[in-house]
Amino acid sequence: MANKEFNPWAMAQSQLDQVAEIIDLDPGIHRVLRLPRRALTVSIPVKMDDGSVQVFEGYRVQHSQTRGPSKGGLRYHQDVTLDEVKALAMWMTWKCAVVGIPFGGGKGGIICNPKEMSEGEVERMTRRFTAEMIMIIGPEVDIPAPDVNTNPQVMAWIMDTYSMNRGYPVPGVVTGKPLDIGGSQGRNEATARGCLFSIQNAVKKKGMKLEGSTVVVQGYGNAGWIAARLLHECGATVLAVSDSRGGIYSKNGLDPVAVLEHKQKTKSVVGFPGTDAVTNEEILGIECDILVPAALENQLTEKTAPAVKAKIVAEAANGPTTPDADRILEEKGVLVIPDILANAGGVTVSYFEWVQSIQEYFWTREEVNVKLKSIMDKAFNEVYDTMESNKVSMRLASYIVAVNRVAEATTLRGIYP
């Protein structure tokens, strides 16, 4: 569902440039933050089940390690590009900074279609990719996590491959692991739960009530479906959802769990009984109170944004809104909770998991959720206050908070040598 008309890296740099002008960022610091610290490109030969050898291309980008190890997901998708991964790594830097956790931004990806590969092929590809990037990852250096088309099992393979090369278990090398090998309670739903906390704060600021509100979710992967479920549990009505094959709509509302069960059986939400079919573009224009883009980048564009009728847009996906669309939504009075805040619950609980793995002391789900809410509420209020005091959009406000923090850390550390 990626829109190839836009370059995410150019968009990410443009966002930084805009904020740099607003906060009068030092030109030297600006130049440092505008480029990734390190970008690794590797070829990944894999013996396929039929005996042939295929070679995949993979990337790992570390945008910043000024405030701590780089942190970010690993995606498997046929449309992955180096520019996309660079943009996602930069956004991770701002995401970690805006919620105040001691990480910089990283991201990785492999150009492949895992839906057309066997589990054994995906495992061999994952292990070879880990071996190729083993010199630049580690608990103190760079910590991968799940992203598009990756999951706890993929993280387990990375952890095992890394640990076998080190000669001892290193659970802190990745987050999003299965619980049995050092994962954290609450990690699987953290992105969606953090998004829920942001929506709850936004609803209060807008003088609305979550109970009885209407919701549309584009993207029914892990973040999208759990966000739909959590909002449904809070009394909201989920009118429409979609995945890569299309969407469904019901004016009477959907049961998110029943829709998930249908998707697990049929591989798509499309065709769920009693619903009307909608496209991924049409779903963005359905009248609702809260729109949750939870798919890939560049979904809300100059073309699709004019149709948006939501009061709140909560970006569970990374980079779903282009700068042109941002301006349109702002003119329409839509409150956009930007990705680096709205979906920061995932990296926040990844931070919790990293801490627990290092200490080998684990928290309950209730402890994790309480700590997550505290951080998300604080970050939301800091960004909202910055928005009001600077009379800018919430996205610009979140960048002002984040870039200032990274710039200050860069200034304090200085430029080596």
Do the first three CATH levels of 37-181 and 190-342 match, i.e. the same topology?
A: yes
Residue 107: active-site member: yes
Would you give the DSSP letter of residue 392? Answer: -
Q: Among 71, 95, 107, 311, which one carries the catalytic annotation?
A: 107
Contacts for 372 with CB less than 8 Å, ≥ 6 apart: 186, 190, 193, 194, 197, 345, 348, 349, 352
Q: So what's the pLDDT on residue 5? A: 59
CB atoms within 10 A of CB 168: 6
- DSSP H or E run through 244: none
Mean pLDDT of 210-230: 95
Residues 37-181: name the CATH superfamily.
Answer: Leucine Dehydrogenase, chain A, domain 1 (3.40.50.10860)
pLDDT at 1: 39
End-to-end CA distance of the chain: give it in Å, rounded.
44
Q: Is 245 helix (H, G, I), strand (E, B) or coil?
A: coil
Does the domain formed by 190-342 have CATH 1.25.40.10? no
Domain boundaries, the chain: 37-181, 190-342
Q: Residue 3: which pLDDT band, with cuts at 50, 70 and 90? A: very low
| Per-residue pLDDT tens over the stretch 24-74 | 999 999 999 999 999 999 999 999 999 999 999 999 999 999 999 999 999
Q: Is the pLDDT of residue 93 over 60?
A: yes
Q: Is it the case that residue 4 has pLDDT exceeding 60?
A: no
pLDDT over 70 at 176, yes or no: yes
Q: What is the pLDDT of residues 263-288, one digit of tens each?
A: 999 999 999 999 999 999 999 999 99
Q: How confident is the model over 360-389, as pLDDT tens digits? A: 999 999 999 999 999 999 999 999 999 999
Residue with tokens 């490109």: 41
pLDDT for position 8 = 86
State the Cα–Cα distance between residues 354 and 346, nearest whole angstrom. Answer: 12
The pLDDT of residue 226 is: 96
**Cβ(227)–Cβ(188) below 8 Å:** no
Q: What is the mean pLDDT of the chain?
A: 95
Closest to 13 measured CA to CA, from 85, 90, 84: 90
pLDDT score recorded for residue 148: 86
